[in-house]
Each structure stands twice: as structure tokens, then as C-alpha cells.
Chain A
Amino acid sequence: MEWIESIKKVVGSEHVRTSSAHLLTYSYDATAGFQAMPDAVVSPGSTEDIRQIMEICRDHQVPLVPRGSGTNLAAGTAPTSGGVVLLFNRMNQILELDEDNLCIRVQPGVLTLDLCNFVEERGLFYPPDPSSMKISTIGGNVSENSGGLRGLKYGVTKDYVLGLTAVLPNGQVIKTGGKLAKDVAGYDLKALLVGAEGTLGVVTEILLKLIPKPEHQRTGIAYFQSLEESAATVSEIISERIIPATLEFMDRGTMDAVERFMNLGLPKDAEAMLLIEQDGEAGQVERDLAAMIDISVRNGAVITAVAETEEEAGQLKAGRRAALSALARKRPTTILEDATVPRSEIANMVRKIREIAERNQVEIHTFGHAGDGNLHPTCLTDIRNGEEMVRVERAFAEIFEAAIDLGGTITGEHGVGEMKSPYLQWKIGDEGIDLMKTIKQAIDPLNICNPGKMFAKANKPRVVVAHG
């Protein structure tokens, strides 16, 4: 193919992979059921490389799919239309730490955990911590607007992006934002590119805001005999005006899977657990944690405990981060969603998920960021069983429906990708879809930037579920 030769001239042939092993191993991400072979896997070394690759793709109408570490959960990085998978393994440098302006300039390929460690060693803090942070890249986090365990108190990736450099589909390079606390010069293009899932161009450099590292941190856990008690605890914590750094929820099935992986000593007879963390000034942290433990007990917690050491706290958090993958050990296929509701509706949502699972006779376990209403109902199934998959799809449609009815959304932090694109209309309506498509059309008229994502060929008809 002529265009592959052209790309080789730009980046060097050693950075263009077309072997069957490479095409196959870049044909997927972490989403079950979406897989397609790209035509080439390319590792550019600079923004200029990417600009030239973009021009070649545009001239030959070749799809361009940027990919970090391929941990996407909505098929956002599966090259389902073929084309080029664009890697950032050569663009993985921390370029500048500006301690006067409390910000850091990085290339997209830097791993999230490496960035966190780098700044924490210097007394600074980068809060967004998606569960895959050990291997996820900052570029992927920005393109997906990733959340994490600390979202409740500290917000998500978009709250930390100060500036971006991006290559647009027309081959132009834009720089937006800067080391500025305030900047209202025109449309907020940076906000548009964050979470655009690579559909509006390729982010090639990122300026991130940092904050001082909290001086103190404590982690506690509470176990409950019912999901409702744990959900009520969450609501009361928030209504008591406590904003913890982390307020995570796991149901019994999730705890069981995590226990089998980590041997943390989680009790076998509890129906739900909350992982609670507070950080900040030492006295305040201790008071908040004590208050949250009190609220847990008042709402029926049977066991509560406070992690004695940082290591113990770290283990508990690692267990929660591993929840999704740990659940995968139970059945051949694991499909998860991240329906999100206003935090006051968390108990309702948890109950509805359970009803939906029962009604459709599917196995769903739920964990998630209870404090910010972002739940991860995870269905354990077998993709080879067509009949069961129909029920699974119906259950998820009902979950989306329920979330939207409660004032929620179809995705809190995983993105739309291809997987949830048929449901986007449910959340934003025809008007929303029209506006988003107009934006996409204006910026990427040839539809070469991650095609097939965000917008579905056809919207799903909304299911009518008998509520009751």
C-alpha cells in the first residue's frame, strides 16, 4: 500500500509494524467483543511526525486510531474500521516540571502512575487515578477524560488539563490553553478535545495542573449486611458535608473475586463494603474518618476498621482497582458499564441494577465510586452463548434507561467509544447528537479520526421497561 510506504518515510520503517503478530495484537482493547485488524501499527516520535502522518491519512482516507496502552473499556481504541493504530511508546517523556506555576508538561505516552510518582516525590499531587493507572497513559486519560477513585473530592482528568497541543484532521497543529489559572480567550477548545476519544484530532502534548500533596491520609473500611445500608451510609456522609478523597463500594460477588486474587481477609458473609479514605490536614482527616466510621455504624455496618499502615491501605485500594479484572475469573466474558447517577440516587440505582439482573436472569456484580454516583455494574457471561448475550444486552439497555430516569448518564468515565454509541442519543437527545455531529463534521469532514466511535450508524430504540 502506497500510504504505508509514505508513513515509513516519515517515521522510519522500523517504526511501522505490519506483521500478522502486530496487526493481531493491536486489534483489540479491554472491551469484550470488539476486534478488528488495523493495516499498520505506527510509532511516531514527534508532533511533526504525527502531523505528516495525519496528512497522509487524510490524502488516502485512511482511519487513524490513537492508542495508549489499550485499556479502554468502551472499544474506543479498537481499530474497528482498520487503518493506522497510532502509538505513543516513543513519545513518553516528562518534558518540564514548573514548580513556580505548579504544572507539568508531558508527552501522551507517559504512564499515569509514573507521573503520579514523579510529582509525589517532589511534594506535589496529580489526583486523577483510574483503576488502570499502573499501565494507562496520560494521553489516553486525556482523550477519555478518565476519572478514578479520587474523583469525588478532586474531580477528573479535565479538571487538571491546562493546555494541549493537538494535530487536527486538516494537518494543522493547534496549541490551546497555557500555564494560566484564568483564560477566556475564545471557545474552550481544550475542553472540546479532552474526552473527544481521538475523534477530533490527536493530542500530542499535555500541560497538567498539579496541587500540593496532602500531608496526611487515612483509609478505613466498613462492611454491611445489605447493599441498601451501604448506600444509605454514602448518602449520609455527603449530607453531613464530608467530602472524602475516596468512597468506594463493592458488593459481595466483587469482594469474593477480589479476595480470591488478593487474600485481603475480606469477610465472606458481608453483602457490601465501603472503602473510605480522607486526606488533608492531619486533625481534620482523623475527625472526618471517625465521623464516617460513626455514620457507617449508625447505618448498620457490622464491621469497621481503619488501616494501620500505608501498606495496608495500599493493599485495600489495589484490591478495589483490581475488581473488574478479578471478576473476570468467574465467567469467560466480562462486560461492564459505568452508568452514573446523582449521588443521592445511589441506593435506588443499586436496587434497580439488582432487579434488572434478576428479571433478565443474568449475573451482575456491582462495584464503583459510590461517592460520586459512578457505578460499575459488571455482567459475567459467555460471549459464545447467543441466547444469553441477548439477555445481557437487554439488561444493560435497562440499566442505561434506569440511570437516565434517575437523572444520570450512560457513562461516567469510560467514554462512549463504539460500545455505547448506540445509546448516546438516549442521554443527549437528537439535538445533542446533531450538534456533536456538526462539530465532528466541521473538524473532521473526511471522518478519518477514530471513525465509528461516539456516533452509531443507528441509535438503539429505547426499551420500555415495566417499572415497579
Chain B
Amino acid sequence: MVSALQEKMKESFVEHVSEELLTDCMRCGFCLPACPTYLMTGQDEAHSPRGRISLMKALRDGQVLWDGSIEDSLDVCLGCRACEPACPAGVQYGTLLEEARHAVLDAKQPGLKEKAVRKIVFDGLFADQKKMKRTVGLIRIYQATGIQKVARASGMMRLLPKQMSEMERVLPQIRRKVRPAKPTQTYKVAFFTGCLMDTMFQETNSRTIELLEMAGYEVDIPANQQCCGALHGHSGEVPKAKKNAEKNILAFNHQDYDFIVQNAGGCGAFLSEYGKLLDTDEARTFSGKIVDISTLLMKAGFDRQLQAISKEAQSVVTYQDSCHLRNVNGVWEAPRTLIGSASGFTYIEMPNAAGCCGSAGIYNLLQPEMSAKILAEKMKGVKQVGPSVIVTSNPGCLLQMKVGIEREGLSGQIEAVHIVDFLYESMKNN
């Protein structure tokens, strides 16, 4: 018997998931060794990119009917997109995943637990920058929006207490508002502050501006910028993501910006795909200007500025890639070169530095078990290298690495920092 939901799901997949993109996959399996969930589940094809694409296609073609096992397969995907650079056929997995999640959301009411998280995150927090700025710390956000009651009723707190209390411990102190940048010379760049970076990591944002100015850029912070919409997009809330995208394109619509710079890998990737999301010339122009802080600093030869400071290497530093910065924007050399140029440290690459840390947006809240497994594996690699500092390029990864350090009881020994803070400290310690 085909249920009404199953019927609706098929129609929704036909409507939202592109047949052309699905047929790009020829099922060679080259993506499998790149997929963290495939490896973590003991090579379970249902938790692989090829498997998920085949499920999307089968749902669309009516070969299988929607059920919990298929939902699980799609939900367990981190969305890290490590499969994309591994794919010789150029399958746009990220887009397919977004389309599939959009299709699911459209056909089905999310469960209570998921709904609770979605409500706070999408409608409350990330839709409105001002609202975000008023909130202090992730736990308090939950309390302030009255979500705690919902969460408790739905059993979310029972499911997540460990993640939540760990998150609370590692959340940074909130500092003053970013001060306006002072103009200098050469390229003019607009700074995309990012909602999480702008609230929880404000100091990192002010230092981003200072670093850019040290490198000789003129920095502007356009008003009225919004959350990039990545979290919405990745979770199937495509219309909401598009709305944010349109607002941002409007906010940054100045001819004289040479670049739009950001310091959060997740946001950067999504911003760089506005062109694909909206399919307009304005969006493509916007996306074409997106650049991450490391690439922009390298462009100005900032590595030489770092090298000019001489100080003996005393401890080890390592780097955890931001999945989207690496897999979507292809940036992995620039941050490594910069970190390697900082004096006082020896850079050692940790095993599988390119592999997802398990943060993945709100994944660590929705899929705590898999997230914890991936993080535990990650921390094994960290311990092999024995660093005093782990550098990251994305706030989600940063928090996740802090949680990892906490879980392993390494708090006094290892510190997780954003690349901007690491570079800033290196310059300042001169």
C-alpha cells in the first residue's frame, strides 16, 4: 500500500530534484573513499554519496517508496561535499542534497525535535541579524526563545544534554561591536561579517579587519547584510535561503568592491554559490567577488609579513580544513601557507585534516551520535600530531574542535583558534 505521504514524496522529488543532475552520476564509486559517513559506518553504501544519489533517483522514478531508512540515509549526510572534488564526472552533490532536503521538507512535516531546532535556528536566529545580536550564547538562545519547553517536551534535552553542556562550556565571551574600518589603499573589499562570527566571535571579526588593513586593503562593512542562508539551504529551506541571498546581493551592490571577503568557510561556500542558487547576473557577479580571508591575505603577500618576524619554533600547530572552504571553494593551500609562515610554531599536518570534523552546521545537534563518532576519530589524528594549537577557518569547526579538546580532557594542553586570531596573535606578539 502506498501511503499519502509516500505519494506526496515522490511528487515532491519529481518537482524539486533535477533529473539532469541525477543522471550525471554514473555510479563509478570514486566518491566512496572520500565520504566520512561511508567510512564511519563500515562502508555502508546507504550512507554514501553514490547510495544517496541512487536513492534520490529511485524515489523520483518510483522505484522505492519513502520510508524511515531512506530518511535516515539523507539525514546522516554531513553535507561536507568531500565527494565533489573526488568525482571525475563533476556531479553537483551539494545541489542535489539541497534539492532533496527541500523535497522532503515540502512533502513532510518535520518531527518535533527537528522542528524545535529548525524554528530557533532558521526562523529565529539566522533569519534576522538583529535578533541574533541580541542573543548571547547558544544555550541562552534556546532559553530565550522559549524553545527549552518545546525541547523538553520533545525529549530533545534528553537526547542532547551532553552536546549542549559541552557547547556552553566552549562558547566564547562576547565582545564589543566591530569598529568601523579605516580606509587605506589599493583593493577595496567589502567584509561579510557572518551572523555567527558577528555575534559569538566579534573579536575575530575586528581582527579580520585589522589584518586586512595590515595587508593593505581598504575595508568596508556594508549595512543591512544578512545571514548567508547556508544553514537554511543545507536543510531544505530553499525559499528562505533565497530570500537571504537577495537581501545580501542588495546590501553588497556596489561596483567599487573588488572583493567580498568572509572568514567563515561555510558562509563563503554558500555565498559563492548564490549565482547557482538564484541564476541571475547580479547573483553571479556577487558570487564572483567572494573570497576567503586566507586567499586575500596571500594575494597581498601577507605570508612574507609573517615570515619577517623571527622567533624560534616552540610548539606545534596544525590545521583542520573547513569542508566547504576546501571542497567547494578549493582553498587549502592558502591557510596552510599562512600558518606555516607564522613564527614560533612548527606546522605539522594532522592525518585526514581534510576530513569533516562532524560539526556540519547543525548536524552535531541533529545527529549527535554520528557527529561524536567522527569527532572521536578526528581527535585520534590530533593526538598523533600533538599540537598546542589547532587552527580552523569556520566557526562551526572551531566550536567542534573545542568540544573535541574538552571531551578528550586536553583543555590546558591544546587550544582551538580561528585562523584570523592565530595570525593576529602572531603579528601582535612581534
Contact = CB atoms under 8 A, between A and B. Distances in A.
Contacts of A329: 24, 88-90
Given A20-B70, A25-B51, A25-B55, A328 B24 contact: yes
Contacts of A299: none
A341 to B, nearest CB: 25
Contact of A132 (B28, B50, B54, B87): B28
A89 B44 CA distance: 8
Contacts of B26: 30, 32, 324-325, 328, 333-334
Contacts of A382: 23
A322 B89 CA distance: 9
A460 interface: no
Q: 9 closest A-B pairs (Cβ-Cβ)?
A: A19-B69, A325-B88, A25-B51, A21-B69, A332-B23, A322-B88, A328-B89, A328-B26, A326-B88
Contacts of B33: 111, 134-135
Interface in A420-468: none
Q: Which of B24, B43, B65, B69 has the most CB of A within 10 A?
A: B43
Interface string B86-108: 01111000000000000000000
B55 A328 contact: no
Nearest to B63: A24
A261 B88 contact: yes
A328 B51 CA distance: 17
Contacts of B29: 30, 69-71, 132, 135
Contacts of B65: 20
Interface string B25-58: 1111110110000000011111010110011001
Interface in A11-52: 17, 19-30, 32, 43
A93 to B, nearest CB: 13
30 contacts: A17-B46, A19-B46, A20-B64, A20-B65, A20-B69, A21-B46, A21-B51, A21-B55, A22-B45, A23-B64, A24-B54, A24-B70, A27-B54, A28-B27, A32-B26, A69-B29, A71-B28, A132-B29, A134-B30, A135-B32, A135-B33, A261-B88, A324-B28, A324-B88, A325-B26, A325-B28, A327-B89, A329-B90, A334-B26, A334-B89
Nearest to B86: A134
A20 B42 CA distance: 19
Contacts of A333: 23, 26
A21 B30 contact: no
A24 B30 contact: no
Contacts of B24: 328-329, 332
Interface of A: 17, 19-30, 32, 43, 69-71, 87, 89-90, 111, 132, 134-135, 257-258, 260-261, 322-329, 332-334, 382
B87 A325 contact: yes
A24 B64 contact: yes
Contacts, number: 112
A90 B44 CA distance: 11
A22 B100 CA distance: 18
B69 A261 contact: no
A21 B73 contact: yes
A1 B43 CA distance: 26
B408 to A, nearest CB: 27
Contact of B30 (A87, A132, A257): A132
A71 B67 CA distance: 27
A25 B45 contact: yes
A25 B58 CA distance: 10
Nearest to A18: B69
Given A21-B46, A69-B43, A332-B20, A135 B30 contact: yes
Nearest to B45: A25
A28 B64 CA distance: 14
Contact of B69 (A22, A257, A327, A332): A22
B377 interface: no
B86 to A, nearest CB: 9
Contacts of A323: 88
Contacts of A134: 30, 33
B72 interface: yes
Contacts of B55: 21, 24-25
A437 to B, nearest CB: 30
Given A21-B73, A326-B89, A329-B90, 6 more contacts: A19-B67, A24-B58, A70-B27, A261-B89, A325-B28, A328-B28
Contacts of A71: 28-29
Nearest to A92: B43
B70 A21 contact: yes
A368 to B, nearest CB: 16
B331 to A, nearest CB: 15
A87 B27 CA distance: 18
Interface string B66-91: 01111011000000000000011110
A27 B50 CA distance: 12
B189 to A, nearest CB: 27
Nearest to B43: A89
Contacts of A43: 42
A133 to B, nearest CB: 10
Contacts of A23: 64
A14 to B, nearest CB: 11
A23 B69 CA distance: 10
A129 to B, nearest CB: 15
Q: Which of A19, A135, A260, A334 has the most CB of B within 10 A?
A: A135
A257 B90 CA distance: 10
A143 to B, nearest CB: 16
A382 B23 CA distance: 9
Q: Which of A69, A325, A382 has the most CB of B within 10 A?
A: A325
A412 to B, nearest CB: 18
A26 B64 contact: no
B19 to A, nearest CB: 9
Nearest to A257: B88
Contacts of B28: 30, 71, 132, 324-325, 328
Contact of B45 (A26, A90, A132, A332): A26
Nearest to A323: B88
B41 to A, nearest CB: 9
Given A132-B28, A325-B87, A325-B88, A20 B67 contact: yes
A81 B128 CA distance: 55
Contacts of B25: 328
Contacts of B48: 25
Contacts of B42: 43, 89-90
